Structure 1
Protein backbone atom coordinates (compact mmCIF):
# COMPACT_ATOMS: atom_id res chain seq x y z
CA UNK A 1 0.00 0.00 0.00
CA UNK A 2 1.47 3.41 -0.88
CA UNK A 3 1.76 5.82 2.02
CA UNK A 4 2.21 9.54 1.26
CA UNK A 5 5.14 10.47 3.45
CA UNK A 6 7.88 12.49 1.92
CA UNK A 7 10.49 13.08 1.03
CA UNK A 8 10.82 9.36 0.44
CA UNK A 9 14.57 9.33 0.77
CA UNK A 10 16.85 11.68 2.58
CA UNK A 11 20.48 12.17 1.69
CA UNK A 12 21.67 10.04 4.61
CA UNK A 13 18.82 7.53 4.69
CA UNK A 14 18.05 8.60 8.26
CA UNK A 15 14.38 7.64 8.24
CA UNK A 16 15.03 4.11 6.94
CA UNK A 17 18.01 3.70 9.24
CA UNK A 18 15.95 4.67 12.30
CA UNK A 19 13.20 2.23 11.30
CA UNK A 20 15.73 -0.58 10.88
CA UNK A 21 17.26 0.21 14.28
CA UNK A 22 13.86 0.13 16.00
CA UNK A 23 12.86 -3.12 14.33
CA UNK A 24 16.19 -4.74 15.17
CA UNK A 25 15.81 -3.69 18.81
CA UNK A 26 12.34 -5.28 18.81
CA UNK A 27 13.75 -8.62 17.65
CA UNK A 28 13.20 -8.34 13.90
CA UNK A 29 15.82 -9.52 11.40
CA UNK A 30 16.16 -6.37 9.26
CA UNK A 31 18.28 -5.90 6.15
CA UNK A 32 18.73 -2.67 4.21
CA UNK A 33 18.99 -2.52 0.41
CA UNK A 34 18.86 0.00 -2.41
CA UNK A 35 15.51 -0.04 -4.18
CA UNK A 36 14.68 1.08 -7.70
CA UNK A 37 15.41 4.75 -8.10
CA UNK A 38 18.38 4.42 -5.72
CA UNK A 39 16.17 4.89 -2.66
CA UNK A 40 16.97 3.45 0.76
CA UNK A 41 14.74 0.50 1.69
CA UNK A 42 14.64 -2.47 4.02
CA UNK A 43 13.18 -5.92 4.51
CA UNK A 44 12.43 -7.21 8.02
CA UNK A 45 11.31 -10.70 9.04
CA UNK A 46 10.15 -12.16 12.33
CA UNK A 47 8.02 -15.16 13.36
CA UNK A 48 7.16 -16.03 9.75
CA UNK A 49 6.12 -12.47 8.83
CA UNK A 50 7.99 -10.30 6.32
CA UNK A 51 7.74 -6.51 6.00
CA UNK A 52 9.30 -4.58 3.15
CA UNK A 53 9.43 -0.78 2.92
CA UNK A 54 10.69 1.02 -0.16
CA UNK A 55 10.10 4.27 -2.00
CA UNK A 56 7.46 4.31 -4.71
CA UNK A 57 8.57 7.74 -5.90
CA UNK A 58 10.04 10.89 -4.40
CA UNK A 59 7.00 11.57 -2.19
CA UNK A 60 5.64 8.22 -1.01
CA UNK A 61 6.64 4.90 0.52
CA UNK A 62 5.25 1.43 -0.12
CA UNK A 63 4.92 -1.08 2.71
CA UNK A 64 4.41 -4.74 1.83
CA UNK A 65 3.46 -7.17 4.59
CA UNK A 66 3.10 -10.91 4.10
CA UNK A 67 4.25 -14.34 5.11
CA UNK A 68 8.01 -14.75 5.02
CA UNK A 69 9.54 -17.32 2.72
CA UNK A 70 9.81 -20.64 4.63
CA UNK A 71 13.28 -22.04 5.25
CA UNK A 72 12.50 -25.23 3.32
CA UNK A 73 11.95 -23.42 -0.01
CA UNK A 74 15.57 -23.50 -1.18
CA UNK A 75 16.31 -27.13 -0.15
CA UNK A 76 13.09 -28.20 -1.87
CA UNK A 77 13.97 -26.23 -5.01
CA UNK A 78 17.50 -27.69 -5.21
CA UNK A 79 16.22 -31.22 -4.60
CA UNK A 80 13.53 -30.81 -7.26
CA UNK A 81 16.06 -29.46 -9.75
CA UNK A 82 18.44 -32.39 -9.18
CA UNK A 83 15.65 -34.96 -9.44
CA UNK A 84 14.37 -33.34 -12.65
CA UNK A 85 17.89 -33.20 -14.12
CA UNK A 86 18.70 -36.84 -13.34
CA UNK A 87 15.30 -38.03 -14.55
CA UNK A 88 15.63 -36.02 -17.77
CA UNK A 89 19.10 -37.42 -18.52
CA UNK A 90 17.97 -41.01 -17.89
CA UNK A 91 14.87 -40.48 -20.04
CA UNK A 92 16.91 -39.00 -22.90
CA UNK A 93 19.32 -41.93 -22.72
CA UNK A 94 16.44 -44.40 -22.87
CA UNK A 95 14.80 -42.52 -25.76
CA UNK A 96 18.10 -42.52 -27.64
CA UNK A 97 18.45 -46.28 -27.25
CA UNK A 98 14.81 -46.93 -28.14
CA UNK A 99 14.81 -44.78 -31.30
CA UNK A 100 18.18 -45.91 -32.65
CA UNK A 101 17.88 -46.84 -36.31
CA UNK A 102 14.50 -45.09 -36.76
CA UNK A 103 15.32 -41.73 -38.28
CA UNK A 104 11.82 -40.28 -38.51
CA UNK A 105 10.94 -41.22 -34.92
CA UNK A 106 14.17 -39.64 -33.73
CA UNK A 107 13.50 -36.47 -35.74
CA UNK A 108 9.94 -36.05 -34.42
CA UNK A 109 11.00 -36.78 -30.84
CA UNK A 110 13.90 -34.33 -31.04
CA UNK A 111 11.68 -31.61 -32.49
CA UNK A 112 9.08 -32.03 -29.74
CA UNK A 113 11.68 -31.99 -26.98
CA UNK A 114 13.41 -28.97 -28.51
CA UNK A 115 10.16 -27.02 -28.66
CA UNK A 116 9.42 -28.02 -25.05
CA UNK A 117 12.82 -26.72 -23.90
CA UNK A 118 12.29 -23.39 -25.68
CA UNK A 119 8.85 -22.94 -24.11
CA UNK A 120 9.99 -23.69 -20.56
CA UNK A 121 13.12 -21.53 -20.61
CA UNK A 122 11.32 -18.20 -19.91
CA UNK A 123 9.72 -19.55 -16.73
CA UNK A 124 13.05 -20.93 -15.53
CA UNK A 125 14.82 -17.67 -16.37
CA UNK A 126 12.28 -15.51 -14.51
CA UNK A 127 12.51 -17.68 -11.39
CA UNK A 128 16.30 -17.69 -11.51
CA UNK A 129 16.58 -13.93 -12.01
CA UNK A 130 14.02 -13.09 -9.33
CA UNK A 131 15.57 -15.29 -6.67
CA UNK A 132 19.12 -14.23 -7.57
CA UNK A 133 18.18 -10.56 -7.31
CA UNK A 134 16.39 -11.18 -4.01
CA UNK A 135 19.37 -13.08 -2.62
CA UNK A 136 21.82 -10.35 -3.64
CA UNK A 137 19.80 -7.31 -2.54
CA UNK A 138 17.58 -8.78 0.16
CA UNK A 139 14.74 -6.87 -1.45
CA UNK A 140 12.06 -9.49 -2.08
CA UNK A 141 11.25 -11.96 0.71
CA UNK A 142 8.49 -13.61 -1.31
CA UNK A 143 10.15 -14.57 -4.60
CA UNK A 144 10.35 -18.40 -4.83
CA UNK A 145 12.58 -20.16 -7.38
CA UNK A 146 9.46 -21.37 -9.23
CA UNK A 147 8.05 -17.84 -9.57
CA UNK A 148 7.98 -18.04 -13.38
CA UNK A 149 5.65 -21.06 -13.30
CA UNK A 150 3.06 -19.09 -11.32
CA UNK A 151 2.89 -16.09 -13.67
CA UNK A 152 -0.20 -15.80 -15.85
CA UNK A 153 1.75 -15.21 -19.07
CA UNK A 154 4.30 -17.99 -18.56
CA UNK A 155 2.13 -20.68 -16.96
CA UNK A 156 0.42 -21.73 -20.25
CA UNK A 157 3.84 -22.02 -21.91
CA UNK A 158 5.02 -24.33 -19.13
CA UNK A 159 1.90 -26.48 -19.48
CA UNK A 160 2.40 -26.68 -23.23
CA UNK A 161 6.03 -27.67 -22.68
CA UNK A 162 4.87 -30.51 -20.44
CA UNK A 163 2.34 -31.69 -23.03
CA UNK A 164 4.99 -31.66 -25.77
CA UNK A 165 7.30 -33.71 -23.56
CA UNK A 166 4.57 -36.30 -22.99
CA UNK A 167 3.89 -36.36 -26.75
CA UNK A 168 7.60 -36.94 -27.44
CA UNK A 169 7.65 -39.91 -25.04
CA UNK A 170 4.51 -41.37 -26.66
CA UNK A 171 6.00 -41.01 -30.16
CA UNK A 172 9.22 -42.68 -29.06
CA UNK A 173 7.23 -45.49 -27.45
CA UNK A 174 5.75 -46.56 -30.81
CA UNK A 175 7.08 -50.08 -31.39
CA UNK A 176 9.38 -50.50 -34.40
CA UNK A 177 7.86 -51.91 -37.59
CA UNK A 178 9.14 -55.39 -38.28
CA UNK A 179 9.24 -56.94 -41.77
CA UNK A 180 7.50 -60.34 -41.90
CA UNK A 181 9.86 -63.31 -42.20
CA UNK A 182 9.47 -65.65 -45.20
CA UNK A 183 10.10 -68.77 -43.13
CA UNK A 184 12.87 -70.18 -45.34
CA UNK A 185 16.22 -69.13 -46.64
CA UNK A 186 16.72 -68.44 -50.37
CA UNK A 187 17.60 -71.62 -52.25
CA UNK A 188 16.17 -73.95 -49.61
CA UNK A 189 13.99 -76.77 -50.87
CA UNK A 190 10.27 -76.94 -50.05
CA UNK A 191 9.23 -79.83 -47.75
CA UNK A 192 7.58 -81.66 -50.71
CA UNK A 193 10.89 -81.63 -52.60
CA UNK A 194 12.97 -83.07 -49.78
CA UNK A 195 13.97 -86.72 -49.99
CA UNK A 196 12.96 -88.96 -47.10
Structure 2
Protein backbone atom coordinates (compact mmCIF):
# COMPACT_ATOMS: atom_id res chain seq x y z
CA UNK A 1 0.00 0.00 0.00
CA UNK A 2 1.66 3.20 -1.19
CA UNK A 3 -0.12 5.41 1.38
CA UNK A 4 1.41 3.67 4.38
CA UNK A 5 -1.92 2.65 5.88
CA UNK A 6 -1.99 -1.06 6.59
CA UNK A 7 -4.14 -3.41 8.61
CA UNK A 8 -1.74 -6.32 8.16
CA UNK A 9 0.61 -5.23 10.93
CA UNK A 10 -0.02 -5.57 14.65
CA UNK A 11 2.40 -2.97 16.02
CA UNK A 12 1.03 -3.44 19.54
CA UNK A 13 2.40 -7.01 19.61
CA UNK A 14 6.12 -7.26 20.42
CA UNK A 15 8.35 -9.31 18.09
CA UNK A 16 9.18 -11.80 20.86
CA UNK A 17 5.47 -12.67 21.19
CA UNK A 18 4.67 -12.54 17.47
CA UNK A 19 7.44 -14.97 16.50
CA UNK A 20 6.16 -17.53 19.04
CA UNK A 21 2.66 -17.47 17.53
CA UNK A 22 2.05 -20.72 15.60
CA UNK A 23 0.06 -18.96 12.85
CA UNK A 24 2.94 -16.54 12.24
CA UNK A 25 5.44 -19.43 12.25
CA UNK A 26 3.30 -21.45 9.81
CA UNK A 27 2.86 -18.50 7.45
CA UNK A 28 6.58 -17.73 7.51
CA UNK A 29 7.49 -21.40 6.94
CA UNK A 30 5.18 -21.64 3.91
CA UNK A 31 6.49 -18.34 2.51
CA UNK A 32 10.14 -19.38 2.96
CA UNK A 33 9.42 -22.70 1.21
CA UNK A 34 7.75 -20.89 -1.69
CA UNK A 35 10.70 -18.52 -2.10
CA UNK A 36 13.07 -21.52 -1.92
CA UNK A 37 11.02 -23.30 -4.62
CA UNK A 38 11.24 -20.29 -6.93
CA UNK A 39 14.95 -19.81 -6.24
CA UNK A 40 15.70 -23.51 -6.81
CA UNK A 41 13.79 -23.57 -10.11
CA UNK A 42 15.34 -20.33 -11.30
CA UNK A 43 18.89 -21.35 -10.35
CA UNK A 44 18.66 -25.00 -11.42
CA UNK A 45 17.51 -24.19 -14.94
CA UNK A 46 20.21 -21.50 -15.24
CA UNK A 47 22.94 -23.92 -14.10
CA UNK A 48 25.27 -24.74 -16.99
CA UNK A 49 24.96 -28.59 -16.98
CA UNK A 50 21.15 -28.44 -16.84
CA UNK A 51 21.15 -25.68 -19.44
CA UNK A 52 23.18 -27.88 -21.81
CA UNK A 53 20.84 -30.86 -21.33
CA UNK A 54 17.78 -28.68 -21.95
CA UNK A 55 19.44 -27.08 -24.97
CA UNK A 56 20.11 -30.49 -26.50
CA UNK A 57 16.60 -31.74 -25.67
CA UNK A 58 14.57 -28.63 -26.47
CA UNK A 59 16.80 -26.72 -28.86
CA UNK A 60 15.28 -23.37 -29.73
CA UNK A 61 12.49 -23.82 -27.19
CA UNK A 62 15.00 -23.78 -24.31
CA UNK A 63 14.55 -20.12 -23.35
CA UNK A 64 10.78 -20.28 -23.83
CA UNK A 65 10.68 -23.33 -21.54
CA UNK A 66 12.80 -21.48 -18.97
CA UNK A 67 10.50 -18.42 -19.03
CA UNK A 68 7.37 -20.61 -18.87
CA UNK A 69 8.60 -22.60 -15.86
CA UNK A 70 9.75 -19.40 -14.13
CA UNK A 71 6.31 -17.86 -14.68
CA UNK A 72 4.70 -21.06 -13.38
CA UNK A 73 6.90 -20.99 -10.25
CA UNK A 74 5.95 -17.34 -9.69
CA UNK A 75 2.25 -18.20 -10.08
CA UNK A 76 2.59 -20.96 -7.46
CA UNK A 77 4.42 -18.52 -5.16
CA UNK A 78 1.71 -15.86 -5.52
CA UNK A 79 -1.18 -18.33 -5.26
CA UNK A 80 -0.02 -20.02 -2.06
CA UNK A 81 1.66 -17.03 -0.34
CA UNK A 82 0.52 -16.75 3.29
CA UNK A 83 -0.23 -13.34 4.76
CA UNK A 84 1.38 -12.76 8.16
CA UNK A 85 -1.18 -10.73 10.11
CA UNK A 86 -0.11 -11.33 13.70
CA UNK A 87 3.25 -9.55 13.62
CA UNK A 88 4.41 -5.93 13.74
CA UNK A 89 5.56 -4.11 10.60
CA UNK A 90 9.21 -4.29 9.59
CA UNK A 91 8.85 -0.54 9.20
CA UNK A 92 6.03 1.95 9.16
CA UNK A 93 6.40 5.66 8.49
CA UNK A 94 3.56 7.37 10.37
CA UNK A 95 5.25 10.40 11.94
CA UNK A 96 4.68 13.89 10.48
CA UNK A 97 6.07 15.29 8.20
CA UNK A 98 7.35 11.94 6.87
CA UNK A 99 3.83 10.48 6.84
CA UNK A 100 3.13 12.85 3.93
CA UNK A 101 6.50 13.12 2.19
CA UNK A 102 7.65 9.51 2.33
CA UNK A 103 4.58 8.12 0.50
CA UNK A 104 5.06 10.84 -2.13
CA UNK A 105 8.72 9.88 -2.48
CA UNK A 106 7.74 6.20 -2.76
CA UNK A 107 5.14 6.97 -5.42
CA UNK A 108 7.64 9.05 -7.41
CA UNK A 109 10.28 6.33 -7.28
CA UNK A 110 7.72 3.66 -8.18
CA UNK A 111 6.66 5.71 -11.20
CA UNK A 112 10.30 6.17 -12.22
CA UNK A 113 11.05 2.45 -11.78
CA UNK A 114 8.01 1.38 -13.82
CA UNK A 115 9.07 3.83 -16.55
CA UNK A 116 12.57 2.34 -16.56
CA UNK A 117 11.15 -1.21 -16.69
CA UNK A 118 8.97 -0.35 -19.69
CA UNK A 119 11.94 1.34 -21.40
CA UNK A 120 14.25 -1.61 -20.76
CA UNK A 121 11.69 -4.05 -22.14
CA UNK A 122 11.50 -1.97 -25.32
CA UNK A 123 15.28 -1.59 -25.63
CA UNK A 124 16.22 -5.18 -24.80
CA UNK A 125 13.85 -6.78 -27.29
CA UNK A 126 11.17 -8.39 -25.12
CA UNK A 127 10.29 -11.23 -27.57
CA UNK A 128 13.94 -12.26 -27.52
CA UNK A 129 14.09 -12.24 -23.70
CA UNK A 130 11.09 -14.60 -23.66
CA UNK A 131 12.50 -16.90 -26.36
CA UNK A 132 9.71 -16.15 -28.85
CA UNK A 133 12.06 -14.49 -31.33
CA UNK A 134 14.41 -17.51 -31.30
CA UNK A 135 11.55 -19.83 -32.29
CA UNK A 136 10.37 -17.40 -34.99
CA UNK A 137 13.88 -16.98 -36.44
CA UNK A 138 14.46 -20.75 -36.38
CA UNK A 139 11.21 -21.40 -38.28
CA UNK A 140 12.29 -18.86 -40.94
CA UNK A 141 15.85 -20.24 -41.09
CA UNK A 142 17.43 -16.96 -39.96
CA UNK A 143 19.63 -18.44 -37.22
CA UNK A 144 20.14 -16.94 -33.78
CA UNK A 145 18.64 -13.44 -33.43
CA UNK A 146 21.54 -12.42 -31.20
CA UNK A 147 23.92 -12.84 -34.16
CA UNK A 148 22.05 -10.03 -35.95
CA UNK A 149 22.87 -7.55 -33.15
CA UNK A 150 25.99 -5.41 -32.97
CA UNK A 151 28.94 -6.64 -30.88
CA UNK A 152 28.43 -3.94 -28.19
CA UNK A 153 24.76 -4.95 -27.91
CA UNK A 154 25.73 -8.63 -27.63
CA UNK A 155 28.27 -7.78 -24.92
CA UNK A 156 25.73 -5.69 -23.01
CA UNK A 157 23.13 -8.46 -23.13
CA UNK A 158 25.65 -11.07 -21.95
CA UNK A 159 26.55 -8.99 -18.86
CA UNK A 160 23.07 -7.76 -18.01
CA UNK A 161 21.22 -10.94 -17.04
CA UNK A 162 18.44 -9.39 -14.94
CA UNK A 163 17.77 -6.01 -16.52
CA UNK A 164 14.85 -5.05 -14.26
CA UNK A 165 15.98 -6.59 -10.96
CA UNK A 166 16.94 -3.36 -9.18
CA UNK A 167 13.73 -1.62 -10.24
CA UNK A 168 11.58 -4.52 -8.99
CA UNK A 169 13.43 -4.54 -5.66
CA UNK A 170 12.69 -0.82 -5.24
CA UNK A 171 9.02 -1.34 -6.17
CA UNK A 172 8.56 -4.28 -3.79
CA UNK A 173 10.54 -2.95 -0.82
CA UNK A 174 10.22 0.84 -0.88
CA UNK A 175 6.89 1.29 0.84
CA UNK A 176 5.79 3.52 3.72
CA UNK A 177 4.72 0.42 5.67
CA UNK A 178 6.17 -3.03 5.06
CA UNK A 179 4.69 -6.07 6.77
CA UNK A 180 6.67 -9.20 7.53
CA UNK A 181 5.38 -11.05 4.50
TM beyond 0.5: no
Which structure has the highest strand share of the two? 1
Which has the higher relative contact order, 1 or 2, with Cα contacts under 8 A spaced 6 or more apart? 2
Give the shorter-chain TM-score range: 0.3 to 0.5
Which structure has the highest helix share of the two? 2
Report the TM-score, using the length of structure 2 for normalisation: 0.35
